[in-house]
Amino acid sequence: MNDALDLLREIDPPPGGLDGLRRRLARHARRRAAIGRSAFAAATLALVLGGSLAVREATRPPAVPAWAAESLLAVELGLVEVPDEPVSIPRAARNRLAIRRVDTSDPRVVLYLAGRL
């Protein structure tokens, strides 16, 4: 039992005594709390600004690039309106390609004949 007490060494009291230690600990606790409140306020501000930018971006109509006017991908993404006819000829191929709709007995079936000019 005496050997265990010999292992412990004596240390000097903190500067300013126990009251000084308590003041320093309280000061550090206040500093940590202030940093925490500042971090929380910054995170809240970032979320509010980010949310307002997302809402503003969602209400702005999307800019449609020139290639999207005749692109099936643009129709699928909803960037352009679906044409009246499900088949359209790209502007560059209009002088080389012809498409004609063929009437069928079933209105659910749409048939087109395509050929080169």
Residue-wise pLDDT for 35-55, tens only, equals 988 999 998 888 888 777 766
For residues 7-22, give the mean pLDDT: 80
3-state secondary structure 51-94: HHHHHHHHHCCCCCCHHHHHCHHHHHHCCCCCCCCCCCCCHHHC
Flag whether pLDDT at 70 surpasses 80.
no
Cβ–Cβ < 8 Å for 111, 104: yes
Over the chain, what is the mean pLDDT? 76
Q: For the chain, give every domain's residue range.
A: 2-59, 66-116
Give percent of the chain above pLDDT 70: 73
Question: Given a cut of 60, is residue 58 above it in pLDDT?
Answer: no
Give the 3-state secondary structure of residue 95.
coil
pLDDT for 68 equals: 61
More confident residue, 3 or 94: 94
Residue 1 has pLDDT above 60, yes or no: no
Is residue 56 within 8 Å of residue 81, measured between CB atoms? no
pLDDT at 28 over 80: yes
Residue 99 is given by DSSP the state: E
Whole-structure pTM value: 0.34
Query: What pLDDT is stored for residue 104 in this prediction?
Result: 86
pLDDT at position 2, please? 62
